[in-house]
Structure 1
Amino acid sequence: MKKRLKNILALGIIGATMLGFVGCGSKTEAASSTGAAEKEKLVLGFDDTFVPMGFKDEKGEIVGFDIDLAKELSKKIGKEITFQPIDWSMKESELNSGKIDMIWNGYSITDERKEKVAFTKPYLDNRQIIITLADSNVKSKADLKGAKVGAQNQSSAVDAINKEADLVKSFADGKIYTFETNDDALRDLEAKRIDAVVADEILARYYISKKGEEKYKVLSDDFGSETYGVGVRKDDKELLDSINKAFDDMKKDGSAKTISEKWFGEDIFK
């Protein structure tokens, strides 16, 4: 009888312990399923070298076109937004793991990315342009045969170039030379370690204007047009809707136009 009672007590303790684990697991799961729209503070992930969209200025302050848009969005939706520099090659993982709530930094809308995130309506047009040095013999896309072509790792530029597989095979070493940032790629171009860079027109034009337009050449050929959007988790529909509404309001009240003219000298907000 005593032995039986001990066994019953032991089983009871084990059962209670297991229930405790299940209870903890349920709470954790419930906490992780909280939608971004329910949070008071949202975290925006961005590449802090992507001028003029979101970057650190000479004082180390975070500035840029997308940063200003996000600050205006914060007012419109009544939520604080903090800016978190991230490894751009890990952006979707950072979003879906819950470390950030938005990807917003010249984030091109592509079919491949649509499988991982939900996009807002497009707010800006862009092209993947080809930049060389002014004295380069590369004058067209066909001239990239045998050339060292650079782009930012895990960028839409890489995706766009890879759509032309035969052309990539003709590059020097049969590959794209990838860099951590667009700035690194353009520095290697200046040092003549590579022959051309493919990058977002928005970034490249700004970079060239600061470094001296006489140093560079932008080819008439490109690797296609695209649009920028804000990426959120697929189950954050409420947040997605609120951003889209805020974009409409910013267009109507002129705040988007003001921000656009500040950075580009004209209104390019869609």
Structure 2
Amino acid sequence: MRVASFFLLPLLSLLITLTGCSRKEREALVIGMDATYPPFEFKDAQGKVSGVSVAIGDEIGKTLGKQVIYENMSFEGLIPALQSGQIDLIISSLTANDQRRKSIDFSDPYVKTGLSILVAKNSTVQSAADLKTPGRKLAVRIATTGEQWCRAELPGAQLVALDTDAACVLEVVNGRVDAWVYDQISVMNYHEQHPDTTRAILAPLREEVWAVGMKKGRDELQAQVNATLARMRAEKVFSKLADQYMAKERDLMKAQGLPFVFE
């Protein structure tokens, strides 16, 4: 019996430790994002995820009284990770649309934006109508609403489907495609980085809203997220985040007569 107890005690201790670990994991709020999209989600100089989306996630964690864990993953993997239970929420500049609502639920919107166009400097594209000219070649980022729009609205275009922003921008910069359809903030920022080889056509092709994604049926969590977003608006938290992360973009959009994303 002494020998059995000698072996059983460490085993019991290990089981208690493992049970405690799994309980802590269940009590944490796991948020998925693709941290390649500044100023909303990106890695800072120390390699830590940061940005507007992280600030929103932290506020939701406060509401729920939970530790927040951020999982950085590819954008196209976010919805499958949510459906499988690997993550609890998606906060990753995710457009809420009818196609995605078939598989997941959304919070109330927190950003209003639109699809726009990053154009090669020497391209003849001057407006959305020009994208319909036969023979157009466009870059699209896989699993984004820009790709969905191009496939639905431009059936005659040749699409180059790529999995990162950087790859899409490079196609435009090098003149291998006429344009890239993406959101206004990104198009502004990438044009600013490549002013000699690109042009930005910011008039929205289509207005869109971003929201927090969650697994279907999590009604209580959805209500808590919505309450957090409402509190953030009431307390002017979004205005403070704009001052911290997006002052340049806000001023540029207002100068062009475009509504800012938090308005």
* CA distance, structure 1, for counterparts of residue 240 and residue 195 of structure 2: 26
Instruction: Give me the whole-angstrom Cα distance separating, in 2, the residues matched to 1:68 and 1:50.
Output: 14
Q: In the alignment, what sits opposite 1:136?
A: 123
The corresponding residue for 2:245 is: 263
* Residue matched to 1:224: 206
Deviations 1:177-209 (A, max 9, x none): 111112220122112222210111122223333
User: Separation in 1 of the partners of 2:52 and 2:197?
Assistant: 25
Q: Is the 8 A contact 2:184 2:202 kept in 1?
A: no
Partner of 1:116: 103
Q: How far apart, in 1, do the equivalents of 2:59 and 2:190 lie?
A: 25
Letter in structure 1 aligned against 2:60 = L
State the one-letter code of the partner of 1:124. Answer: V
**For the residues of structure 1 that align with 2:113 and 2:188, how far apart are their CA atoms?**
11
The CA distance in 2 between the partners of 1:188 and 1:126, in whole Å, is: 24
2:134 is aligned with 1:151: no
How far residue 212 of structure 1 moved from its aligned partner, in angstroms, is 4.5
- Pairwise CA RMSD: 2.1
For structure 2, list consecutive stretches of 5 or more residues without a partner in the other structure.
1-24, 251-259
Gaps of 5+ in 1: 1-37
% identity of equivalent residues: 25
* Residue number in structure 2 paired with 1:190: 173
CA 1:83–1:200 in 2, change beyond 3 Å: closer, same or farther?
A: same
> Are residue 177 (structure 1) and residue 166 (structure 2) matched?
no
How far residue 220 of structure 1 moved from its aligned partner, in angstroms, is 5.5
Could you tell me how far 1:72 is from its partner in structure 2?
2.5
Aligned AA (1:254) = K
Q: Decide whether the 8 Å contact of 1:124 with 1:229 is kept in 2.
A: yes
2:139 maps to amino acid: G
Counterpart contact for 2:117–2:187, Cα < 8 Å: no
Q: What's the TM-score once normalised by structure 1's chain length?
A: 0.77
Q: Does residue 1:204 correspond to 2:187, yes or no?
A: yes
2:257 — aligned with what? none
Q: Give, as a single letter, the amino acid of the residue that structure 2 aligns with 1:178.
A: A
CA distance in 1 between counterparts of 2:116 and 2:203 reads: 7
Q: What whole-Å deviation, never above 9, does each CA across 1:137-173 have from its counterpart, x for those lacking one?
A: 2212333331210111011111122221xx322x23x
**Contact 2:90–2:214 (CA<8 Å) still a contact in 1?**
yes
Contact 1:54 1:65 in 2 (8 A): yes
Distance 2:262 2:60 in 1: 14
Write the letter of the residue equivalent to 2:123: S
1:74 paired residue number: 61
Larger radius of gyration: 1
Once residues 67 and 245 of structure 1 are traced to their aligned partners in structure 2, the CA distance between those partners, rounded to angstroms, is: 17
Per-residue CA distance 1:26-67 (angstroms, 9 max, x = gap): xxxxxxxxxxxx942111111121222111234423122111
Q: CA deviation digits over 1:99-144, x for unaligned, max 9? A: 1111111100110101111100011011111111333222123333
Give the TM-score normalised by structure 2.
0.79
